[in-house]
Amino acid sequence: MGDRLKGKVALLTGGASGLGRATGELMAAEGATVVLTDIQEVEGEKVAADIAATGATCLFRAQDTTSEAGWEAICAEILDRFGHLDILLNGAGVGGAGGDLEEMALETWRHCLAVNLDGVFLGCKHGIRAMRQGSGGSIINISSIFGVAGMSQSGNYCASKGGVRLLSKAAALECAKKTPLVRVNSIHPGFIDTPMVASAVQRRGQAFSDYIDNNVPLGGLGQPMDIAEGVVYLASDAAGFVTGSELVIDGGFLAR
């Protein structure tokens, strides 16, 4: 397709499906060497093989993003094998519990925060360290429209994604005056046609499906490639003066 990411090495968590898969496909088409990670090993290996079959360099590694040792290992492998890390997409995440806070178990709260926020913190920590051993890079953190606005029965999810939003800004400010430069931005997807949204619709029923239809000005669900295009822009040199920003891709949901 192009060469917007030619010569760059990209690490994508949550790469086995949904937004991560679409982004991996687009990054590879734009010339990047792509490393996908996920806890879904069979699916991840299949995605990596499909991308590699196009002639791109793509590999898969199993990774629990809540494990600091796992982050240390994957970053060390990338630096040893490719010599540099230029792009990190912190895309691994889980949905909310779908229940009222007064009934939510502490374990349920902590699991969501661990994956959605602790995992992004660890990614930023070790991604920045790895990128500084090369010529810098770009970190893109997947937040949500519900990191900006609240939604009932999703308190843990909103808290985690709101944390990603402000963690991204804090990290961007820390990195802005240091060299080599690491840029940090967040993307806030709306309702996108992914397994996570499909699961939420199935769990919450027709009322939730109607809520989406009635509250997205452009109508219905967005596509994973809509988000992938935003990620590739922020990862590319075209966004060289962009850091600490929040890119909303939501069909107009937050504009209401």
Q: In total, how many domains does the chain have?
A: 1
Domain membership flag for residue 47: yes
Banded pLDDT at 134 (limits 50, 70, 90): very high
Q: How many C-beta atoms lie closer than 10 Å to residue 220's C-beta?
A: 12
105 conformational bin, left if phi > 0, alpha if psi -120 to 50, beta if neither: beta
Query: Is the link from the previous residue into 180 a cis peptide, with omega within 30 of 0?
Result: yes
Domain extent at residue 70: 9-194+223-244
The answer on pLDDT for 158 being more than 80 is yes
What's the pLDDT tens digit per position in 176-189? 999 999 999 999 99
Supply the mean pLDDT for the chain. Answer: 96
Residues 6+ apart with CB under 8 A from 200: 95, 98, 208
Q: What is the pLDDT of residues 199-239, one digit of tens each?
A: 888 888 888 899 999 999 999 899 999 999 999 999 999 99
pTM score of the predicted model: 0.97
Query: Is residue 183, in this structure, part of any structural domain at all?
Result: yes
Q: Give the per-residue pLDDT at 75.
A: 98
Amino acid identity at 199: S
Active site residue 157: yes
Q: How far apart are CA 180 and CA 163, in angstroms?
A: 26
Share of the chain above pLDDT 90, in %: 92
Residue 58 lies in a domain: yes
Answer whether residue 119 is part of any domain: yes
Residue 150 lies in a domain: yes
The enclosing domain of 69 has a CATH number of 3.40.50.720
> Is-contact 8 30, C-beta < 8 A?
no
Res 163 pLDDT > 80: yes
Cβ proximity of 146 and 160 under 8 Å:
no
- In the block, tokens 């760059």 appear at 8
Q: Is residue 250 part of a domain?
A: no
| 31-85 pLDDT, tens digit each | 999 999 999 999 999 999 999 999 999 999 999 999 999 999 999 999 999 999 9
Domain assignment of residue 164, yes or no: yes
Domain-located, residue 212: no
pLDDT of residue 204: 81
| Per annotation, catalytic residue among 157, 162, 194, 231 | 157
